[in-house]
Amino acid sequence: MRQPISLYLHIPFCVKKCHYCDFLSFPGCSLSRQAEYVDAMIQEIHAYREAAEDYEVKTIFLGGGTPSLLEKELVERLFHELYSVWRAAPETEITIEANPGTLSREKLIGYHMIGINRLSLGLQSTIAQELATIGRIHNYEQFLANYYLAREAGFDNINIDIMSALPGQTLISYGKTLERILKLQPEHISSYSLILEEGTDFWENAEIERALPSEQTERIMYHYTKKCLQNAGYERYEISNYAKPGYACLHNQVYWTGGEYLGLGLGAASYWKGARFSNTPDMEEYMENCSRARITENRKEIVTATQKSRMEEYMFLGLRMIRGVSIREFERRFGIPMNRIYGTVIRSYIGQGLLKIEQDRLMLTERGIDVSNSVMADFLLEE
């Protein structure tokens, strides 16, 4: 009986760095460099040949950077090699992240032909000023053009990423973006609140900070998103993710439910055979190790999962899902009632109106979502 597995592939190339982005990505990579990288990834894929026989792939996700920057031929090659090593069923969810401005009819047809059945478009906003402020390479019109192309190419499972609490954004302008994309009726919408990250252009930038909406407005934007999207038939199934019934992203849910996944490529994270680790973020090192089939040397910050860490993750990841975590499942998985481990914390937060229990499930309340980090921190256990 084959185990389920999810695969993540990282493509770290971008046209340019957006001002808020702290993902592992860099601009200015030549086509030959990209080809070399894909070669290295293919070597990495093949190194798992033997292990792959125990698994059946349930989801594949191409993230980045800008995966859609890759030449169509490279993507095709990558997937051919992938399929030659890993067994994937026809219903496997296969997603590629794409930036409007880097897509073309050929690419989209090519993606569809090799089995990619879900497209994630990084729109962020429909307002020109906001797009410029955050440093996106596209405008709303380009996005629209790409969106229609995607539909024409046969994509019937599209996600649109948008952002709230952007500098200069107001509730009105944000509402406008929501309205516009709702008209397009994508199957899935992710709305992320801007986080200022160290190392990005937005970090410790007084001008940007001045232009940010207030904390209160940000929360209103968040709650408005929920109301708006729910009214339009989308279900909020995770703190920042909304989908039409049946279209929730399976890949991401694997992360939140403690499923096993393998990260391929630069800096990719894995939860593989009871250990969490990430590949090196150093390109030279990554390519070197792949060329010598020394893929385990790419693994950094290896942490073996323990009962304790798994219990903690069950809670602080699981609570990200709106439906929360199953109390019975906790006991089944760990052999200990949830109450025994977390009884005090749970009671305290229920008392404060931040958690609630419905039937078998423990979940965040609306207010709890607002301060979920604080709540989740208390699910970390003492040594």
Partner 1 sequence: MSHIDQSKIRNFCIIAHIDHGKSTLADRIIEMTGLLTSREMQAQVLDNMDLERERGITIKAQAVRTVYKADDGEEYIFNLIDTPGHVDFNYEVSRSLAACEGAVLVVDAAQGIEAQTLANVYLALDHDLEVMPVINKIDLPSAEPDRVKDEIEDVIGLEAQDAPLISAKTGLNVKEVLEQIVTKIPAPAGDPEAPLQALIFDSIYDPYKGVIIFCRIKNGCVKKGTRIRMMATGAEEEVVEVGIFGAGQFIPGEELSAGMVGYITASLKNVKDTQVGDTVTEAGRPCAEPLPGYKKVNPMVYCGLYPADGAKYPDLRDALEKLQLNDAALQFEPETSIALGFGFRCGFLGLLHLEIIQERLEREYNLDLVTTAPGVVYRVHKTNGEMIELTNPSNLPDPSEIEYMEEPFVSAEIMVTKDFVGPIMQLCQERRGIYISMEYMEETRALLKYEMPLNEIIYDFFDVLKSRSRGYASFDYEMKEYKQSKLVKLDILINREEVDALSFIVHADGAYERGRKMCEKLKEEIPRHLFEIPIQAAIGGKVIARETVKAMRKDVLAKCYGGDISRKRKLLEKQKEGKKRMRQVGNVEIPQKAFMSVLKLDSE
Q: Can you give the binding site for partner 1, defined by CB under 8 A?
A: 8, 63, 192-195, 215-216, 218-219, 239-240, 252, 255-256, 261, 263, 268-271, 276, 278, 301, 303, 312-313, 316-317, 320, 352, 354, 369-374, 376-378, 380
Cβ 292 to partner 1 shortest distance, Å: 25
Cβ 62 to partner 1 shortest distance, Å: 12
Nearer to partner 1, 282 or 370 (CB): 370
Q: Which residues are paired to 60 by β-bridges? A: 7, 94
Angle at alpha carbon of residue 252, lines to 248 and 254, rounded to 5° = 105
Nearer to partner 1, 357 or 381 (CB): 381
Cβ 250 to partner 1 shortest distance, Å: 14
Q: Which residues are paired to 95 by β-bridges? A: 61, 118
DSSP 330-358: HHHHHSS-HHHHHHHHHHHHHHTTSEEEE
Contact indicator for 324, 361 with CB cutoff of 8 Å = yes
| H helix intervals, 185-280 | 206-211, 215-231, 250-256
C-alpha span between 363 and 236 (Å, rounded): 13
Nearer to partner 1, 55 or 271 (CB): 271
Nearer to partner 1, 154 or 274 (CB): 274
**Cβ-based neighbours of 273, under 8 Å, separated by 6 or more:** 260
C-alpha span between 295 and 286 (Å, rounded): 8
| H helix intervals, 257-326 | 283-291, 307-318
How is residue 321 annotated by DSSP? B
Cβ 276 to partner 1 shortest distance, Å: 6
Nearer to partner 1, 192 or 224 (CB): 192
Nearer to partner 1, 128 or 371 (CB): 371
Cβ 255 to partner 1 shortest distance, Å: 5
How is residue 107 annotated by DSSP? H
Nearer to partner 1, 62 or 103 (CB): 62
Q: Tell which residue, 78, 82, 81, has the closest CA to residue 67.
A: 78
Relative orientation angle of helices 140-152 and 105-113, to the nearest 10 degrees = 40
> How far is Cα of residue 84 from the mean position of the Cα atoms in its chain?
26
Cβ 109 to partner 1 shortest distance, Å: 27
